[in-house]
Amino acid sequence: MSKRLRASIRANNKGRSLRPKTAQTGPAPRMPDGKPDLSGIWVQGDGPPPPDPKMLPWAIELTKERSRRNWSDAPGANCLPGSIPLGFYVYPGKEGIVPIAFSRTKDMMQAYEEVTGIPFPYNKYDQTIVRNFNFGGMENITATTLADTEVFFANFDFGKATVQDLVSHELSHSWFGDMVTCKNWSELYLNEGFADFMESVAREKLYGRDSYTRKIRSDAEQFMVDDAVNKRRHGLFNRLADPSSDSLFDTTTYQKGGTVIHTLRQYIGDQAFWKGINAYLNLHKFNNVETADLRKAMEQASGKDLGWFFEQWIYGAGYPKLTVTQNWTPGTKTLRLTVTQTQQLDKITPVAFRLPMDLEIKTASGAVTKPIELKKRVEVLTFKLDGKPTELSFDPQENIPLKTVKIQPVK
């Protein structure tokens, strides 16, 4: 499920898109006469009869694209041969939105099959725009519904990336949310955090790592801004979960969920991460899942004990706030750093996060990278350097985007 994106954009960012524009989302294909290229899209009378209007009062069948595919000969695709019909239902006269909003659906589906190693688990996938919808989208199995106002946002350049994220979000629920789904509302991040993360994965596969990183960074920022004012703070495992309340669908479950899954991926590495995802999905196919299932799959795939990781990032709330003071001793060319974790002390936020990361130190002669691991509320680190440091960068690869770092000038 997706929250209403445009509403949250207005509320959180005063009209600016929360997601950066991506230059890669170009205009829809056009015919020489300037009309949208609808080749390959079925028009009424070309396909099966329209749905009974009594059954689907909001769905007006007009266009339906059927995308035939057989990837059995595609190298590395790891997909079963076959075809998945893709359907797009829009209002009469609005067919032009189909190539603009939905043209990458097939590519996203292929990307998800490749990374998870699991073919799309159903026999078709339809996307239908609907009026007066309370959410941005809803991942009904094989029949996703999307708010028309959200989808038509793709008519504007600044809205194209947001709509692609919406389309990839709902599609990813076919694996995370439909094929396996959380056993209880407290672990909704297993559906929504993963769908949020998979938006970034679709970007990575379609547009490259920079687009992925921009999305992860944006998610982290949204969560951290919200965490400062959130009166119902909770961990990803949400002990306050109340299915009768909209509060389930918050930036913790979505954006923090997506960012923490990214951090897990970076910590155990791509190979182990996707191997673990494959095992997790396969083992629990068409069944319910809990946090323990995810942890077990990831521990088996990586060979690492992830108890501490899940304790601080899944069961704990908040994120680390680091303040760094620097002392430079010219005689011995020693840099002494005192790193203090200053996140608020309460019952749900870890007193000290364990943070394995790289520290990049620049001097006049160049940059050196030192692996460090912060574990305590106050940590003192010393480094011998060839000259006075000019710049420090904690976690330059952004493996742990959920953190703030304040660095005091060198003393």
Both tokens of residue 209? 């790592």
- The DSSP H or E segment spanning 129 is strand 125-130
Q: Write the binding mask 136 to 175 for Zn ion: x where contact by CB under 5 A, - elsewhere.
A: ----------------------------------------
Min. distance of Cβ 249 from Zn ion in angstroms?
A: 8
**Binding residue (CB under 5 A) for Zn ion from 1, 98, 101, 261:** 1
Which CB, 165 or 379, lies closer to Zn ion? Answer: 165
Indicate the residue among 192 and 227 with the shorter CB distance to Zn ion.
192
Separation of alpha carbons 106 and 108, rounded Å: 5
Nearer to Zn ion, 1 or 337 (CB): 1
Nearer to Zn ion, 1 or 355 (CB): 1
Task: Supply 78's token pair.
Answer: 């790891």
Nearest distance, CB of residue 3 and Zn ion, angstroms: 8
Provide φ and ψ at 134, rounded to 5°.
-75, -15
Integer-rounded Cα radius of gyration of the chain? 23
Coarse DSSP helix, strand, coil percentages of the chain, rounded to the nearest 5 percent: 35, 20, 45
Nearer to Zn ion, 61 or 165 (CB): 165
CB of 270 to Zn ion, least distance (A): 24
Which span (5-13, 66-74, 190-198, 218-226) binds Zn ion, by CB under 5 A? 190-198
SS3 category, 355: strand
- Least distance in angstroms from the C-beta of 170 to Zn ion: 7
**Signed CA dihedral, 341, 342, 344, 345: sign only:** positive
- What would the x/- binding string for Zn ion be over residues 232 to 271, using CB under 5 A? ----------------------------------------
Q: How many residues bind Zn ion (CB under 5 A)?
A: 4
Smallest separation, CB 67 to Zn ion (Å): 23
Give dist(CA 161, CA 101) in Å, integer.
9
Collapse the DSSP code of 387 into the 3-class scheme (helix H, G, I; strand E, B; otherwise coil) and give the result. Answer: coil
Indicate the SS3 state at residue 226: helix
Q: What is the DSSP string of 234-268?
A: --SS-TT--TTSGGGSSTIIIIIHHHHHHHHHHHH
* Residue whose pair of structure tokens reads 């005192």 in the numeric block: 338
- Minimum gap (Å) between residue 195 Cβ and Zn ion: 4
Backbone φ, ψ for residue 143 (5° rounding)? -145, 65
Task: Using the minimum distance from each CB to Zn ion, give the nearer residue, 165 or 395.
Answer: 165
Q: d(Cα 215, Cα 204) in Å, to the nearest integer?
A: 10
Task: Please give the residue whose beta carbon sits closest to Zn ion in the complex.
Answer: 1
Closest CB 254 distance from Zn ion, rounded Å? 7
Query: Contact at 8 Å (CB) between 389 and 408?
Result: no
Tokens encoding 136: 């941005």
Q: Which is nearer to Zn ion, 2 or 144 (CB)?
A: 2
- Give the shortest CB-139-to-Zn ion separation in angstroms: 6
Q: How far is the CB of 260 from Zn ion (least distance, A)?
A: 16
Nearer to Zn ion, 171 or 195 (CB): 195
Binding-site string for Zn ion from residue 320 to residue 349, where x marks contact by CB under 5 A and - marks none: ------------------------------
Half-sphere exposure of 305 (CA within 13 A, CB side): 3
Contact segment (CB under 5 A) with Zn ion among 2-10, 19-27, 30-38, 314-322 equals: 2-10
- Candidates 101, 195, 224, 260; binder of Zn ion (CB under 5 A) is 195
379 with 339: CB under 8 angstroms? yes
Which of 257, 350 has the CB closer to Zn ion?
A: 257
Chain residues binding Zn ion by CB under 5 A are 1-2, 192, 195
